[in-house]
Amino acid sequence: MWAASAYTVAAAAAAASLPQHIRRGGFRCRAEAANPNDSRKKVVVIGAGWAGLASAHHLCKQGFDVTIIEAGSFPAEEVSLRGFRSPYRNIFSIIKELDLQPFTNWTSSSLHTSESVEVEFPIFQDLPLLPAPLGVLVYPQFSHLSLADCLTWIPLIAAAIDFDGTDAAWSKYDAMTARELFKQFGCSERLYREVFQPFVEVGLLAPAEQCSAAAVLAMLYYFVLSHQKSFDVVWCRGTVQEKILNPWLDFLKSKGCRFHGNKTTTDFIVNKSTGGVTGVLCGQDVYEADAFVLAVGISTLKSTITSSCALQSKQEFLNVLNLTAVDVVNVKIWLNRKVKIRRESNVCFGYDNSTGWTFFDLNSIFDEYQDEPLTVLEAEFYHANQLLPLKDEQIVARLISYLSRCIKEFQEATVIQQIVSRFPKSATHFFPGSYKYMMKGSTSFQNLFMAGDWIISRHGSCAKEKAVVTGLEAANQVVDYFGVGDFAKIIPVDDDEPHIESLRELNRRLNELRAQTPFSNFFLQ
């Protein structure tokens, strides 16, 4: 690192735009970020999750000088919907390019209800193909639901058809809660309680009455209703960090990318004459570049905004302060005996009033535990604010109590080792009304671009696949900004089946006619 007296004239000019207390104390910069012999355009990517790595991946391939800044010491998996679903085509493409083989085969899963009923979900692509969405409605054995309950699925399909992913559709359905959506479209009480409520609590990590109906429809269509195989999932045969993210970062380093961990972004340096960002400030370190990709979660960005005079000058960033995130608690336990768990992944609900949770049989998923004579299990609690203050032993005791209601054999097992990890405000909360505060991929800073699973995108994907897609979209915006390099080829979601496409076209025409009728905008929508 250089002392302030050794700076170039350009660096001194940048220092003049910093807050006085930082100018007085001096600041430091990485020598390798200012190589005068390197004529390549420099890009700083802030965040080393799925979005940041995807963006850096394409930019490195296009010959840019890329630096990744990460608040942690290494890339880390964002807390989100677990597993890798069939529609994650862009993730699978990158994994193939990296020549990694981290995944299990396609697996089935189970839903454990509050009445101790286990519902099995098959591997849908192994079954005869039915027109969407019949496959996901017919093949799971909801034996505890009556035919009348199951038939109340049908009206909800109309909402899924109407929700076409446009800004108008998001604005329309974002105004109501998920529970209001299911009520409005005639869902039975039992179907809601036994199927949709757990789907929302695990998919969006919060109770249905606290989730946006628009986000539910986006997730419901993407993962369940669009195609029969969309619900199928594979798992990483170890931690995502070890099997995917660390090898991915090593690949990027081999392409010349630099990684700086334990760097918390506190502000940005802005050229007042051009309005562009010239550097990112991490404490007393400054990283200069020609363009920037900000690929962090909501909580991290909110923290940066509260310390950043530059971001506070833009309303789009101030709007982000209205957003929020969900608490997650992860528990990994080793038991003194082998408990037979029929499915690798298990969704559970109804064990308290506001927390959805899942558990995973690591003996079946992780390579390192396949021959283990004991049971190794991992569980995650979502919307877990009421668990955060508890002691580890209390959380583990609650988990064992819940597990015993799912599978009786857990009553006779003893925990011999445990790891409890708390992730406060770590997952995006798509609450009703949140859409208007979310950001697009471009910003009012001409060379600052955004990526993440909460960024507005018309791709149609969700969760970590959306993070990767927005990372590639941000990389494309950098390419477009400089006019250098090729655009990333983003794999689109599968086309709608013909009958769905026809219904959506009919719905669009009806909406156009309705908009032309008198008083169409008079009543509250």
pLDDT in tens, 317-370: 999 999 999 999 999 999 999 999 999 999 988 677 667 899 999 999 999 999
Contact 54, 94 (CB under 8 A): yes
CB burial string 344-369: b at 16+ within 10 A, e below: bbbbbbbbeeebbbbbbbbbbbbeeb
In our burial notation (b when 16+ CB lie closer than 10 A, e otherwise), range 21-55 reads ebeeeebebeeebbeeeeeebbbbbbbbbbbbbbb
**Does residue 29 carry a pLDDT above 60?**
no
d(CA 244, CA 77): 10
pLDDT at 513: 87
For the ranges 142-151, 359-368, 383-392, which has the lowest average pLDDT? Answer: 142-151
CA dist., res. 285 & res. 28, Å (int): 5
Whether 13 has a pLDDT exceeding 60, the answer reads no
* Residue 154, C-beta contacts closer than 8 angstroms, at least 6 positions apart: none
Reduce the DSSP state of residue 447 to 3 states and report it: coil
CA 378 to chain centre: 20
- Give yes or no for a contact between 299 and 426, defined as CB atoms under 8 angstroms apart: yes
Does residue 20 have a pLDDT over 60? no
Q: Is the pLDDT of residue 224 over 70?
A: yes
The per-residue pLDDT for 52 is: 98
pTM to 2 decimals? Answer: 0.91
**High-pLDDT (> 70) share of the chain, %:** 90
Checking if the pLDDT of 511 tops 80, the result is: yes
Instruction: Encode pLDDT of 126-143 as tens digits.
Output: 999 999 988 888 888 887
Mean pLDDT (whole number) for 370-380: 94
3-state secondary structure of 503: helix
pLDDT at 77: 78
Do 130 and 225 form a contact (C-beta atoms < 8 A)? no
Per-residue pLDDT at 8 exceeds 50 = no
Integer-rounded Cα Rg, in Å, for the chain is 24
Per-residue pLDDT at 518: 80
pLDDT score of 114 more than 90 = no
Q: From the centroid of its chain, how far is CA 236?
A: 16
**Owner of token pair 């580890």:** 392
User: What spatial distance separates the first Cα and last Cα of the chain, rounded to whole Å?
Assistant: 58
Residue 15 vs residue 485, higher pLDDT? 485
**Number of residues that make up the chain:** 525
- Gap between the Cα atoms of 253 and 250, Å rounded: 5
Q: What is the pLDDT of residues 434-456, one digit of tens each?
A: 999 999 999 999 999 999 999 99
- Which pLDDT band holds residue 458 (cuts at 50, 70, 90)? very high
CA distance 386 to 365: 29
CA distances from 410 to 264, 362, 518 (A): 43, 15, 63
The mean pLDDT of 107-114, rounded to a whole number, is 86
Pairwise CA distance, residues 66 & 330, whole Å: 33
* Weakest mean pLDDT among 5-9, 60-64, 257-261, 337-341: 5-9
Burial of 171 (0-12, 13-18, 19+ CB in 10 A): middle
Q: What is the pLDDT of residues 164-185, one digit of tens each?
A: 999 999 999 999 999 999 999 9
Euclidean distance between CA atoms 382 and 80, whole angstroms: 10
Residue 516, token pair as written in the block: 């032309």
- pLDDT at position 5: 32
